[in-house]
């Protein structure tokens, strides 16, 4: 059991949130408006796969489920890298069981560019941290990444994809990811429930889905 991008971001907001995700996920309560936002984000992500024309999607599900088969996705991605596929969507990578799936990986003359898609018009720091996690994992898989972009939702309805380059910011976070990813790996495996006092982290940057549980209403 390694760390994914979502695990990393949730664990950095609150280590107990990550622990509950792994050991007591049934306690989470996702507000309907948040679920709607997540669904809309997925739709925009699907649309953005075609922003550069033809592409290959790496998503593979475990038989009879909608659960991604990470190992099969990593394998499929490796095959497309070998084949020189120009645009690979949901490109999956694994390093010491830490895992990421990049929205769009686009081949350049000497390496690859990363595109992370966000269904919003504004760039937030959280998006840069998300992309930094992807960059960290892919770099450790020895793939040369040249530029990193966040694709925001632009105003043109015909082509609503607005990439913003964040390469410098993302590369600057490599050390920060490395400083925390291994602790989060250890922590999520703890058999004992973590003790964390509720505080600002329960609502910042996102309201925690275990709020009721930790605040005594669950």
What are the counts of helices (DSSP H) followed by strands (DSSP E) for the chain?
8, 6
Residues in region 16-75 near ligand SF4 by CB under 6 A: 16-17, 20
Please say whether the beta carbons of 106 and 115 come within 8 A.
yes
Distances from the Cα of 146 to the Cα of 9, 26, 166, 170, angstroms: 24, 40, 11, 11
Question: Which residue number, 28 or 171, has a Cβ lying nearer to ligand SF4?
Answer: 28
Cα 105 to its chain centre, rounded Å, is: 14
9 binds ligand SF4 (CB under 6 A): no
Number of residues this chain uses to bind ligand SF4 (CB under 6 A): 12
DSSP lists the bridge partners of residue 156 as: none
User: Minimal distance in Å, beta carbon 195 to ligand SF4?
Assistant: 9
Listed in sequence order, the residues at least 6 apart from 188 whose beta carbon sits closer than 8 Å to its beta carbon are 1, 3, 7, 11, 18, 19, 21, 22
14 is a site residue for ligand SF4 (CB under 6 A) = yes
* Least distance from ligand SF4 to the Cβ atom of residue 190, Å: 14
The answer to the question of residue 150 lying near ligand SF4 (CB under 6 A) is no
Stretch in the footprint of ligand SF4 (CB under 6 A) among 12-20, 96-104, 127-135, 142-150: 12-20
- Pick between residue 23 and residue 140 the one whose CB is nearest to ligand SF4: 23
Distance, CA of 127 to CA of 129 (rounded, Å):
5
Q: How far apart are CA 210 and CA 218, in angstroms?
A: 8
- Residue 46 or 207: the one with the smaller Cβ distance to ligand SF4 is 207
Q: Which is nearer to ligand SF4, 122 or 197 (CB)?
A: 197
Q: Please check whether residue 166 is in contact with residue 38, taking contact to mean a CB–CB distance below 8 angstroms.
A: no
What DSSP string runs through 120-137? SSS--HHHHHHHHHHHHH
Token pair for 4: 């994914």
Q: What are phi and psi of 31, to 5 degrees?
A: -60, 145
In the complex, minimum distance from the CB of residue 17 to ligand SF4, in angstroms, rounded to a whole number: 4
Q: Which is nearer to ligand SF4, 58 or 202 (CB)?
A: 202
Closer residue to ligand SF4, CB minimum distance, 24 or 168: 24
Query: Residues 176-215 vs ligand SF4: string with x where CB under 6 A?
Result: --------------------x-x--xx-----x-xx--x-
Least gap, CB of 137 to ligand SF4 (angstroms): 25
Contact positions vs ligand SF4 (CB under 6 A): 14, 16-17, 20, 196, 198, 201-202, 208, 210-211, 214
């Amino acid at each position: 059991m390694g760390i994914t991008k979502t695990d990393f971001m949730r664990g950095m907001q609150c280590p107990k949130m990550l622990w509950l995700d792994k050991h007591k996920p049934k306690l989470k309560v996702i507000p309907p408006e948040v679920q709607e936002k997540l669904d809309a984000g997925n739709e925009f992500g699907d649309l953005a796969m075609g922003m550069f024309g033809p592409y290959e999607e790496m998503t593979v599900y475990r038989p009879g489920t909608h659960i991604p088969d990470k190992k099969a996705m990593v394998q499929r991605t490796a095959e497309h890298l070998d084949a020189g596929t120009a645009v690979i969507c949901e490109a999956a990578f694994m390093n010491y069981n830490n895992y990421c799936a990049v929205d769009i990986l686009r081949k350049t003359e000497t390496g690859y560019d990363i595109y992370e898609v966000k269904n919003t018009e504004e760039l937030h720091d959280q998006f840069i941290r998300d992309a930094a996690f992807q960059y960290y994992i892919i770099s450790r898989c020895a793939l040369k990444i040249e530029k990193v972009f966040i694709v925001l939702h632009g105003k043109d309805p015909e082509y609503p994809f607005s990439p913003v380059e964040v390469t410098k910011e993302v590369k600057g976070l490599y050390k920060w990811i490395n400083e925390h990813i291994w602790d989060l790996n250890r922590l999520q495996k703890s058999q004992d429930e973590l003790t964390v006092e509720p505080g600002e982290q329960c609502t910042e940057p996102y309201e925690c889905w275990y709020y009721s549980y930790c605040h005594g209403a669950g």
